[in-house]
Amino acid sequence: MFKWFKDEIQGIKDRDPAARSALEVFLCYPGFHAIIFYKIAHWLHNHHLKLLARMISQFARFLTGIEIHPGATIGKRLFIDHGMGVVIGETTRIGDNVTIYQGATLGGTGKDSGKRHPTIGNGVVISAGAKVLGPFTVGDNSKIGAGAVVLKEVPPNCTVVGVPGRVVRKDNVPVPKDPKIRTIDCDQVDLDQVRLPDPVEDAICCIVKRLTKIEAQLKELEEVRQNEVV
């Protein structure tokens, strides 16, 4: 048990520069507290004490603002940063070293039974306000941008943005949707929650460029027509 505490706390310290000490993480991090309650509730859930497990998970939600269903499967060193409003559904599977920011939802899309929540690979980052909805897989080391709504499978090592979400980078290389639409040249480093391509802006820039060109051509044609009349 002590080794588990040490490993989980170290995982948080490695990913959060604001974490100054293990004691601070233990006392002040609601994401860490939510994981402790989840471990207890998950054990009870697996031993057919499901009502008690749900009561503990709801108590944890009251204390931390984080709702983790006892039936979810969570790997090592999950870091829920700030955490308020995070929801993790019953059939969710989360790998190791995953980071989830406030307001994120790992949910289902309806009343289907069986596997109805996502599977999150190792090293995935799910940014603030993102919604990952459905029984598909988000591949290892992928990043879900802030506010994205992801409704289909994400390959490994990808960055997803937008509503609905689409892959805009794979293996840190831009993935153009349309050769006529320019791709924002982000820094050649791992994208964080701020340095994210904006496919909507790309499309608008393309439209503005084409309209400007058409307006210039129309102006030239109008000048030619006026000269012919004179």
Region 180-207: mean pLDDT is: 57
CATH code of the domain containing 108: 2.160.10.10
Confidence band (pLDDT; 50, 70, 90) for 167?
confident
As a whole number, the mean pLDDT across the chain is 85
Is 211 inside a domain boundary?
no
Is 180 inside a domain boundary?
no
**Structural domain count of the chain:** 1
Indicate if the pLDDT at residue 54 is higher than 90. yes
Is 130 inside a domain boundary?
yes
Indicate if the pLDDT at residue 186 is higher than 60. no
Region 62-78: mean pLDDT is: 94
> What would the pLDDT profile of 87-126 be if each residue is shown by its tens digit?
999 999 999 999 999 999 999 887 777 889 999 999 999 9
In angstroms, rounded to a whole number, what is the distance separating the alpha carbons of residues 138 and 119?
6
Is 215 inside a domain boundary?
no
Indicate if the pLDDT at residue 197 is higher than 70. no
In angstroms, rounded to a whole number, what is the distance separating the alpha carbons of residues 116 and 97?
23
In angstroms, rounded to a whole number, what is the distance separating the alpha carbons of residues 19 and 9?
9
Range of the domain at 13: 2-173
pLDDT at 179: 44
